[in-house]
Structure 1
Amino acid sequence: MELFDESGSGGNAHEYTVSEISGAVKRVIEGEFGRVKVRGEVGRVFVARSGHLYFDIKDDRSVLASVAWKGQVGGLTTRPEEGMEVIATGKLTTFGSQSKYQLNVDDVRPAGVGALMAMLEKRKKALEAEGLFAEGRKRALPYLPEVIGVVTSPSGAVIRDILHRLRERFPRKVLVWPVAVQGRDCAPQVAAAIRGFNALEPGGVLPRPDLLIVARGGGSIEDLWGFNEEIVARAAAESEIPLISAVGHETDTTLIDYVSDKRAPTPTAAAELAVPVRLELQAWLDGQGARLSRALGRGVTQRRQRLADMSRALPRPEALMATARQRFDWIEVRLPQALLAGVTARRGRLAEVGAAVRPSGLRDRISNCRNASANLSSRLGPALFRAVRDRRRAFSALEARLSPMPLARRAEWAAREVSVFGARLDRVFRDRVKADRDRLDGLSRLHESLGYDATLERGFAIVREGDEVITTKARAAEAATVELQFKDGKITLGASPSRKPKSKPTPPEQGSLL
């Protein structure tokens, strides 16, 4: 197709608009090339806010601008990264607004195993630098998990091998999360399965697993590439449930193997790591039970032997009671003689005491008591008469003092004295109050004339720093801020320019305690 007519001098050449030229170029490029594959190294990569992905594909001499629209980004087999060698498939088109041509990419694949390994090594170094491979963050596997979650394909031989091995060793509850184990859907589905198991609530309707197994059979590096994606590695590292990776055969290694808590060479080996052998565990328990029974038997036998040895060292009951029995017999023999001796001794003492108590002595004592009583009775009558007479005289004197007339005169005199003293007290109180009031009025007038309010009214001011009143110029120069009080209010002034910082007083030298 000819865009320009070159037969003449150009005077009659057709005039094209910019849009016509752009459309013609677009038709030529798209018609000539159509869908193509381009191999090269990924250069600058940019993701716009709209979700479109822009990147460059270059070789040693040229650069091809490439774009994957938002709807195409999710379907890319491999996300382009700077420095990767890729094979991009798409349609060559133009961008007329900037006079550019570009490749509309709908598929990106690494250019061979070497490119994949280079990209894998780059990701591995980046994740290792973040500490995701550190042994310190790996957790121990539970010894006997109640529920095991398996992330794998439900239709492959892997899940059958795992279930068969679990039934042989120790049957457990198994939850299977079906995922694609290769292809473009593998990485997002595996990451979603790991996060989904972690999101289950413990004790819920669907029990949360105590252990996770991510498993897949062997294959090429392209088949296993989904487990090398960064999204899968980060999901495994974030898992709160201990995780066993069992991807590929023993020689196959993926990124998930480095971040998982335990790597198994095969899916069958993962099942063996997950649970112990039930028969071995039962045999071990039987052995422990037998050891416990033997230990108990030996313990009882040893204690019985020790009890027998100690019983032989103890004296016989007859020997322990022989001394007490002999002493009892000895006391029994001496008891009658001791009773007779006691009665004899008490009888002699009674005879000695009875000899001092005679009828003649009792009669003399009774006679003396009778004479003393008669003497006292003869003195009792006159003493009572004298006491009555003295009490009567005292009563008469009191009666004379308490007659009505003297009491009335005494009350009248007391009333007059009270009225006189009351009048004097009122007069003295009034005089004292008047004198105190006059003195208080004088002091109040003196206070008003000498107080600082009157001084402020005369045009003076008070200078303060805080609660301290400043009276000297030097003290005002040292103050940080000063407050001036006038008769109508207060103002605060800042620090003086000539103010010098106070020097801290020199602490006294520490001397002797004496």
Structure 2
Amino acid sequence: MATPPNTDNDAGLVARERQGDNAQPLTISEISALLKRTVEDRFGFVRLRGELSGVKRAASGHFYCALKDEGALIDGVMWKGNAQRLNFRAEDGLEVIATGKLTTYPGRSKYQIVIDSMELAGEGALLALLEKTRARLAAEGLFDERRKRRLPFLPQVIGVVTSPTGAVIRDILHRLADRFPSHVLVWPVLVQGQGAAEQVAAAVRGFSAIAPGGPVPRPDVVIVARGGGSIEDLWSFNEEVVVRAIAECSIPVISAVGHETDTTLADFAADRRAPTPTAAAEMAVPVRADRAFTLSDLAARQRRAVYRPLELGRERLAARVRLMPRPENLLAPQTQRLDDLGERLRRALGDRSAKGRERLAGAAARLSPALLTRSAAEAQRRLDRARLSPALVERPLRHGADRLAALTRVMSQLHPEKPLERGYAIIRTAEGKALTTRAEAAGEAALVLQWRDGTMDAVPAGSAPAPVPAKPRPAPAPAPKRPSSGVQQDDLFG
């Protein structure tokens, strides 16, 4: 580079090229590019530890922040692809370790770090993030005890969200088989690493979205389970997306993440927390043998409750029977009275028979053949005087004959086939039943018209003609003849 002039006489209004000076003036863009290349070559890979500040995520998906400590601050940017791979929610105040490269931003004459990956600076920072997330979600009411639901007493279908290859699912299935065999639906997910939180949340929402009565049975309870591990291993169950999915699930959820000493935010959002996956299976179903024993005990109590009134009734009846008098004691007076009356009856019948024999003997002494002969002669004389005359017998006979003749004439006039002689006809069904109304005739498929000299088949209007064999009609009964009588009685009808 050219040596800067050291005399004031060289300064002028217009820049001039000096003899022997080969340093051309640089543009701002050129010097910015030189600075950018120098910084990137010197600091192509750096790891910075600092506190996040001014965190924001642009609509494009890029992540902007600043890293600071007690004495300095540096801007940082993480492009969309790397920002989507973050395993935690970046917030102001978190202490992190950022890995990337330094570069410059010519538009503002400043340098910054392009972050490739970001991690929390130790478990203390991780716990601080966990506490901040817990407080924020608790403020929304996701952990409120009043919104937690009771587990069903005996679920028919149990949904399990866990890894299909771990020991957790085997422990749950084995415990369910021992206690109360149930229908289990397993939704396989990752339980650790990148994308595990999204898969767990999708599985919980998937179980909640199953419609009742569909081809896939809807679970009555959902178990979210994972084995033990460090706080980093269990971090997927502290993610906000998992917590919200469990809180919004329409099915009661049991959280069984880690061992008894492990606690995640999923435990706070679930309806019940189980210390281990095996304990979750024990919470989900009762012991079948205990339920069977309880049912048998209740059945025995029911039988005792039914039979107890009968036993009490028998006891009361036996007590009352002991207080009642014996039947023979109650009937003793009546028995004695019956014996007395029987004896009195026997004596009275003997006395009555003796008195009857005495009266008969007295009457027999008064009877004689002359008395009987006289009585018979008197009866014969009365019979002779009471001889009947023929007129007394003929008069009732003649009166009866006149009444019979009058009834015969009336019967001949009221005979149902008498009007046929005056041009009328009788309408009958094919079976021979006489019809008296138009409605009855309209309901028949075929009719038979009976005239004085025979019958004729007919079909009602609107019905298809159907041949109906005419049954032979019985010949009308001849009118009864009037009995001959010497007395002619006048016609009752004038």
Query: Per the shorter chain, which TM-score range?
Result: 0.5 to 0.7
Distance in 2, matches of 1:215 and 1:26, equals 50
Counterpart Cα distance in 2 of 1:86 and 1:223: 18
Q: Which runs of 5+ in 2 are unaligned?
A: 6-16, 342-494
Could you tell me how far apart the structure 2 residues matched to 1:228 and 1:156 are? 20
In structure 2, the partner of 1:55 is 65
* In 1, Cα distance between equivalents of 2:327 and 2:114: 112
Q: 2:271 aligns with which of 215, 239, 261?
A: 261
Structure 2 residue corresponding to 1:41, chosen from 51, 67, 90 = 51
Q: Secondary structure at the match of 2:135?
A: helix
Query: Displacement of 1:78 after TM fit?
Result: 2.3
**Secondary structure at 1:98 match in 2:** coil
Please say if residues 149 and 197 of structure 1, whose CA atoms lie closer than 8 Å, have aligned partners that are also in contact.
Answer: yes
Which secondary structure state, in structure 1, belongs to the residue aligned with residue 107 of structure 2? helix
SS in 2 for 1:97: coil
Whole-Å Cα distance in 2 between the matches of residues 310 and 18 of structure 1?
A: 124
8 A Cα contact 2:61 2:80, kept in partner = yes
Q: Which SS does the other structure have where 1:120 is aligned? A: helix
Q: Offset of 1:143 from its aligned partner?
A: 0.8
Shift of 1:6: 4.3
The question of 1:298 aligning with 2:302 is answered no
- Higher helix proportion: 1
How far apart are 1:38 and its partner, in Å? Answer: 1.3
Whole-angstrom CA distance in 1 between matches of 2:320 and 2:102? 105
- Which TM-score applies when normalising by structure 2? 0.61
Letter of the 1:269 counterpart = A
Of the three residues 80, 84, 87, the one matched with 2:90 is 80
Aligned-pair CA distance for 1:21? 2.0
Which residue of 1 is the match for residue 145 of structure 2?
135
Q: Distance in 1 between matches of 2:146 and 2:237?
A: 23
In structure 2, C-alpha distance between the alignment counterparts of 1:79 and 1:135, rounded to whole Å:
26
Instruction: Tell me the equivalent position of 2:80.
Output: 70
Amino acid at match of 2:176: L
Does the 8 A contact of 1:75 with 1:106 survive in 2?
A: no
Contact 1:179 1:186 in 2 (8 A): yes
Secondary structure of the residue that 2:165 maps to in structure 1? Answer: coil
Paired with 1:236 and 1:251, the residues of 2 have a C-alpha distance of 21
Aligned residues of 1:35 and 1:92 also touching (Cα < 8 A): yes
1:118 aligns with 2:128: yes
**What secondary structure sits across from 1:206 in the alignment?**
coil
Q: What is the rounded CA distance, in whole Å, between the counterparts of 1:6 and 1:207 in structure 2?
A: 85
**Higher mean C-alpha displacement, 235-244 vs 288-297:** 288-297
Shift of the 295–23 alpha-carbon distance from structure 1 to 2, 3 Å rule, reads same
Identify which of 199, 224, 240 aligns with 1:230. Answer: 240
Letter in 1 for 2:67: I
The size of the alignment, in residue pairs, is 325
| Matching residue within 221, 240, 247 for 1:211 | 221
Amino acid paired to 2:149: R
Task: State the shift of 1:307 in Å.
Answer: 4.3
Distance 1:194 1:279 in 2: 31
Distance 1:276 1:229 in 2: 32
How far off its partner does 1:96 sit? 2.2
Match of 1:154 among 164, 172, 182: 164
| Residue aligning to 1:26 | 36
User: Match of 2:164, SS?
Assistant: coil
Aligned counterpart, 2:181? 171
- The 3 A distance-change label for structure 1 pair 21 and 310 is farther
Corresponding letter in the other structure for 2:42: E
The offset of 1:304, in angstroms, is 3.0
1:294-443 to structure 2, matched below 5 A, reads 294-309=304-319
Distance 1:157 1:109 in 2: 30
Distance 1:316 1:68, change over 3 A: farther
Whole-Å separation in 2 of the counterparts to 1:294 and 1:107: 74
Provide the TM-score with structure 1 as the length reference: 0.59
Q: Please list the CA deviations of residues 288-336 of structure 1 after superposition, one character each: whole Å capped at 9, or x if unmatched.
A: 222222333333222333345556778999979x99xx9xxx9xxxxxx
Pick aligned residue for 1:185 from 187, 195, 215: 195
Task: Confirm or deny: 8 A CA contact 2:158 2:223 kept in the other structure.
Answer: yes
- Pick the aligned partner of 1:250 from 260, 267, 271: 260
C-alpha change, 1:164 and 1:6, in structure 2 (3 Å) is farther
Matched, 1:94 2:73: no
Instruction: Please say if residues 77 and 107 of structure 1, whose CA atoms lie closer than 8 Å, have aligned partners that are also in contact.
Output: no
Contact map agreement 1:150 1:176 (CA 8 A) in 2: yes
Find the aligned partners of 1:6 and 1:166 in 2 and give their Cα distance: 87
> Shift of residue 67 of structure 1?
1.4
Q: Distance in 1 between matches of 2:313 and 2:79?
A: 87
Deviation at 1:46, TM superposition (A): 1.3
Q: 1:312 to 1:100 in 2, by over 3 A?
A: same
Displacement, 1:86?
0.6
**Structure 2 counterpart of 1:239:** 249
Structure 2 contact 88–239 (Cα < 8 Å) conserved: no
String of CA shifts for 1:31-59, please: whole Å, max 9, x gaps: 21213221100001112222221111111
Distance (whole Å) between structure 2 residues aligned to residue 151 and residue 265 of structure 1: 16
User: Structure 1, residues 93-119: CA drift from partner, whole Å, max 9, x if none?
Assistant: 232222232222232211001111111
Do 1:76 and 1:106's aligned partners in 2 also have CA atoms closer than 8 Å? no
1:250 and 1:137 mapped to 2: Cα distance? 24
Q: Separation in 1 of the partners of 2:2 and 2:194?
A: 53
Question: Do the aligned residues in 2 keep the contact of 1:218 with 1:249 (CA within 8 Å)?
Answer: yes
Find out whether 1:277 has 2:296 as its counterpart. Answer: no
Flag the 1:79–1:36 CA change in 2: closer, same or farther, 3 A. farther
Q: CA deviation at 1:70?
A: 2.2
Q: CA deviation at 1:144?
A: 0.8
Aligned-partner Cα distance in 2 for 1:186–1:314: 86
